[in-house]
Structure 1
């Protein structure tokens, strides 16, 4: 079967006449035309009788039968064009037409000439069939006409030259019509196939462009010559603010005073017909203004003198500077790991010397000083170990198992918070301890995380009572949680996206390692740390909330 199909494609018909929706529509049009021809044939018989001509019962019956067959064919005949052989589909459509017209031609009465009706099956075979089907249909008509000429000669004995010549001319004309119609059908099929491929490619390209634009970290605006925004990606909505993400587009770019510098830049781009670049401040509905670098580009239609669009690219300068700073500090981080490695040997020497010195010291004051040196040297050694651990390349998803003892979360948090308050003279930290669980966490690591979070909270919180709150509780998943909440101003969305990245900070004097180290220490113990802008309780005020979800552990402590 596959070899026969290949032969049909290779010899009988080239590939462009594969299944086509256009050919299917033409098939339905031909079916409708057959129905109209049936109605006309029946009407002709009735009109001829009303004009006084004798009733031709056979012609009337044949016309009525053809109308019924045409109606049934339109309702139930559903081939898959192109028709490739003279089979059942051809017989029930073109074959019926040939037979009907031929019989009407034989039974013709008066001056009615049915020969032009042969054009319908010939066109149908040439358009919705392969070239052999179309030519075979035209050949069938030529044979019928020649046979009719010979029949007339047999019946009347008249000279058949005129009829034979007319049959030859009609057959030749129908062959030419079949060939031309088939070529037009092939062209239609090729154009439709090309249009389908082009549309599929355009749709795929549009989807890819939309996905790329939607995920770009830089803002993109599409503006027309009248200064209206036709499209904006999420990054542009985040940079411009003022509810652009939920606005109905198109909208005027100068709808808000903060956007007027952008509208002016777009107007200059259209007026000068060349790209523009400028840094402009964009005021926000909340918070400080953003410094934005704006690049404009014209679409090719505008460059060619037509009505085009201006594509505006928006870069948040703070994010650009942070990205550059991150790259620079990443190199410094690698160097600091090497430096930390070199510090280990001097620290070991200091610790050993302190231990030896402690054996010869007898005065209480000197012993306390020596203990302080040894304690801080050991603490620095632990910090160096942590930095080196985080600097080492680890496989994705790998976690370092913790072998240390469990600790009482509530007691540890109370002690560490009170110690922090004592060192910072901060009296407005509110404690609410209700976890009553032990957690598998190194005490020194938990202290570093809590101190870091409290330092950040104190930097931005107000001086009011309960402006900083430390809460422990058990979540719905029975995991202990530690929350550090403050009433500070909301974090900028650009800051939130990079909050736990190394060497990222919204302040120039900060190294940007604090929250990154917190995240690394949490992941080391199977915990997760996150940030959200929300209240601690349903009826509370909104604030900045850092939460730690500890790994599941043993049973809760007795209350």
Structure 2
């Protein structure tokens, strides 16, 4: 069996290239020897033992043989060891003839034996390389012994022996080094093959995984992203881009920058709004807003030369919708009979409580009746919220002037809830108008302001309501207070029905507010925004008007 069969395909290809390099070197050496004869003849020198014609014919034959070997190696890549053996034998024979033609040891051509012997040591098994060295050494010794009988001068027998020993030393040294290099190449080829398999597996996993993955630099430049990430962000091309260059991706860019600065957690929730257009080579379109859970992680790079980070994205819109559907499915059966089965007993309890309040005036009785009345009102409010879920109201579609609407809302809210006039600050809306049913918008904002009153400090302007234009030119209405922000854990369930962190809440207020926004072509979400560079992102409710 050929020794090459035990090697990898890459190593076998290296052996064949090395053999071809050996052929090219052989052609160059033969041509140089032929030129040497021409120059030597012009100087009037003569060659010993054989005629100059024989020397020239040997060089020409050597060139032709080298060309034949090169053509065979190029066309017929089989029987490597057989081809190499034939070439080494021809090399030794040709060099021996030239050695005799040039005058033997005095010509210095004995060093040419190092060329085929080094090639044999690199490409052939050690036994074949040592056999080639033995042939060259025996020839040199035989030529020196022959000179003893035909020449009166003392032949350089010692020089021939030293040269033969050098041949064996070179073969052993080069063969050892070549074996080590071949082993290293085999190991590198194996590791390369394993790495390619691993990369192929990772590529399949990354391409098929449902979560989006972005590879970004410290400046927010995105180098790569899997298909899921492009689908979530609405990207239609896989070109490299910067997050901050696409206005719709500003929430992602801000969350990533805040995490890099060390002022934010490794998880964040953002909403990528509808967008369409092209920014440089990046083209994209997102028809529906996407609520994403972001998770950041740093990539360990050598010496930090190329800082990279991973942005994992999970579309939690589907998860939220699924949770809502599961809860609403069981609630749908309850809604059909809730008006008679619950509201009627509540009305009776409330009426009886009112009658008892007229007769019982003691402090203990009054306190108990107030507890009953409060709980009746709470249950009745829950019933009203549940009944609203079964009615898909249709928006009026009338334009609403925000400046007038917000001023009226502020006056009404401060009066009905008994809060100071300067506690709620209304930003300048200018002449901006939005298409939203006025009653629905009032109900949404009253719900949001009621939640803000619970957590705000009560100081002047501790609750802020102000309209702004987002990066895509759409009108946004922000509702923000100076109380503690909502944690990411609570944020994940914030708009689910019946989820509440308050003992007095029903868990339906924010869900109804979002549903009303959706019915009016708007989007309600809780977002973390950076007001100005260097300041930690703060949470706020944001209503985005799409029409």
Counterpart mapping for 1:437-476 below 5 A: none
Distance 2:176 2:263 in 1: 47
Residue 175 of structure 1 aligns to a residue whose secondary structure is helix
1:99 to 93, 99, 105: 93
- 2:186 is matched with 193
Q: Is the CA contact 1:225–1:308 (under 8 Å) kept in the aligned structure 2?
A: yes
Distance 2:194 2:137 in 1: 46
Distance 1:273 1:189 in 2: 53
Q: What is the deviation of 1:30? A: 0.6
Residue 108 of structure 2 aligns to a residue whose secondary structure is coil
Whether 1:120 and 2:110 are equivalent positions in the alignment is no
- 2:300 is matched with 300
Distance 1:183 1:80 in 2: 26
Distance 1:293 1:253 in 2: 16
- 1:344 is matched with none
Distance 1:151 1:307, change over 3 A: same
Distance 1:130 1:183 in 2: 11
Whether 1:265 and 2:255 are equivalent positions in the alignment is yes
Q: What is the deviation of 1:128? A: 1.4
Distance 1:88 1:228, change over 3 A: closer
Distance 1:41 1:65 in 2: 12
Distance 1:326 1:95 in 2: 85
Distance 1:151 1:462, change over 3 A: farther
Distance 2:246 2:177 in 1: 57
Q: Is the CA contact 1:225–1:310 (under 8 Å) kept in the aligned structure 2?
A: yes
Q: Is the CA contact 2:20–2:73 (under 8 Å) kept in the aligned structure 1?
A: no
- 1:130 is matched with 125
- 2:197 is matched with 204
2:65 to 65, 69, 75: 69
Q: What is the deviation of 1:288? A: 5.4
Q: What is the deviation of 1:74? A: 1.2
Q: What is the deviation of 1:312? A: 0.4
Q: What is the deviation of 1:225? A: 2.1
Distance 1:17 1:209, change over 3 A: closer
1:39-86 deviations in Å (ceiling 9; x for gaps): 0111111111111123611111111111111111111245759954xx
Whether 1:30 and 2:30 are equivalent positions in the alignment is no
Distance 1:122 1:179, change over 3 A: same
Distance 1:327 1:89 in 2: 76
Q: Is the CA contact 1:17–1:186 (under 8 Å) kept in the aligned structure 2?
A: no
Distance 1:508 1:325 in 2: 6
Distance 1:44 1:262 in 2: 74
Residue 127 of structure 1 aligns to a residue whose secondary structure is helix
1:140 to 135, 138, 162: 135
Whether 1:155 and 2:150 are equivalent positions in the alignment is yes
Q: Is the CA contact 2:320–2:496 (under 8 Å) kept in the aligned structure 1?
A: no
Residue 222 of structure 2 aligns to a residue whose secondary structure is strand
Distance 1:320 1:508, change over 3 A: closer
Q: Is the CA contact 1:20–1:189 (under 8 Å) kept in the aligned structure 2?
A: no
Distance 1:124 1:459 in 2: 87
Whether 1:245 and 2:236 are equivalent positions in the alignment is yes
Distance 1:275 1:155 in 2: 96
Distance 1:227 1:252 in 2: 6
What is the root-mean-square deviation of aligned Cα atoms in Å?
Answer: 3.7
Distance 1:274 1:57, change over 3 A: farther
Distance 1:211 1:133, change over 3 A: same
2:52 to 37, 56, 80: 56
- 2:246 is matched with 256
- 2:530 is matched with none
Distance 1:14 1:135, change over 3 A: farther
1:176 to 154, 169, 180: 169
Distance 2:108 2:179 in 1: 32
1:166-214 deviations in Å (ceiling 9; x for gaps): 1221111111211222222222322222222222222222222121111
Q: Is the CA contact 1:298–1:310 (under 8 Å) kept in the aligned structure 2?
A: yes
- 1:393 is matched with none
Distance 1:101 1:318, change over 3 A: same
1:335-391 deviations in Å (ceiling 9; x for gaps): x9xxxxxxxxxxxxxxxxxxxxxxxxxxxxxxxxxxxxxxxxxxxxxxxxxxxxxxx
Q: Is the CA contact 1:221–1:313 (under 8 Å) kept in the aligned structure 2?
A: yes
Counterpart mapping for 1:348-367 below 5 A: none
For structure 1, list consecutive stretches of 5 or more residues without a partner in the other structure. Answer: 337-455, 464-506, 510-559
Aligned residues: 327
Distance 1:273 1:20 in 2: 56
- 1:312 is matched with 311
Q: What is the deviation of 1:266? A: 2.6
Q: What is the deviation of 1:29? A: 0.8
Distance 1:271 1:81, change over 3 A: farther
Residue 107 of structure 2 aligns to a residue whose secondary structure is coil
Distance 2:136 2:265 in 1: 68
Return the TM-score normalized by structure 2. Answer: 0.53
Q: Is the CA contact 1:279–1:293 (under 8 Å) kept in the aligned structure 2?
A: yes
Distance 2:143 2:263 in 1: 75
Residue 102 of structure 2 aligns to a residue whose secondary structure is coil
